Amino acid sequence: MVPWPWYTGVRFDARVVYVDAGRDLALLRADTFSVPCTPLRFWEDGDVVLLAFFTMKYGQVLVEPGTFPGKILSEPVWDEETDSGEIRSDYTSESGTSGAPVFLQRVNKVVGVNSGALGGTVKTAISVRTIHAALRQWLQPGDENITIEEIPGHYLQLDEGLMDRKN
């Protein structure tokens, strides 16, 4: 279990379910979450914002997430070595914001996960297509037409079924 602080000060325990170092992705599961949590929706293209909070100068910390606008600079770049798509954008990000969702603000949907920078103002995010591929690989839903939004529910049903069989 990993203790995880929420920006409101609430802490919860999360279990690391899968890690993919090559794609810089991890899947965490929080079984007990005491505050309301709305699932994020996914989208594949458009102008974006980064939603994050990070350490400021002299040890100051933002206590609520902020948004940092930017634009997608090109089509996603595919990396054959890691079998992943990378979105290149010009939003502002700092060290410590890796893993933050990158939103298409006009429809309030996630297009990727912040992963780093190429230098200067070019930031990188792991694409939704890569996230979908990783979830399919990890959770093996069996249905090739299942959407990214349906995969977590499918996983929870499978997990509950396994728990029922164990009892």
Question: Does a structural domain hold residue 127?
Answer: yes
**Is residue 92 in a domain?**
yes
Domain of residue 73, residue span: 41-132
Please state, in angstroms and rounded to a whole number, the distance separating the CA atoms of residues 161 and 47. Answer: 40
Within a domain: residue 19?
Answer: no
Q: What is the CATH number of the domain that holds 127?
A: 2.40.10.10
* pLDDT given at position 106: 74
pLDDT, tens digit, 9 for 90 and up, residues 48-97: 555 554 445 555 555 566 677 788 887 788 878 777 888 888 888 777 77
pLDDT band at 5 (very low <50, low <70, confident <90, very high): low
In a domain, 95, yes or no: yes
pLDDT at position 156 is 66
Split at pLDDT 50, 70, 90, the class of 44 is low
CA distance 90 to 69: 8
Q: Determine the pLDDT at residue 164.
A: 36
Distance CA 108, CA 86 (A): 20
pLDDT of residue 2: 56
Q: Judge whether 31 lies within some domain.
A: no
Does the predicted model carry a pTM greater than 0.75? no
Average pLDDT over residues 16-38: 76
Which of 6-10, 11-15, 52-56, 132-136 has the lowest average pLDDT? 52-56
Contacts of 61 (CB under 8 A, 6+ apart): 53, 54, 55
In a domain, 22, yes or no: no
Q: Which residue has the tokens 């930031």?
A: 123
pLDDT tens digits, one per residue of 152-166? 677 666 555 443 333
Does any domain span residue 153?
no
Number of folded domains in the chain?
1
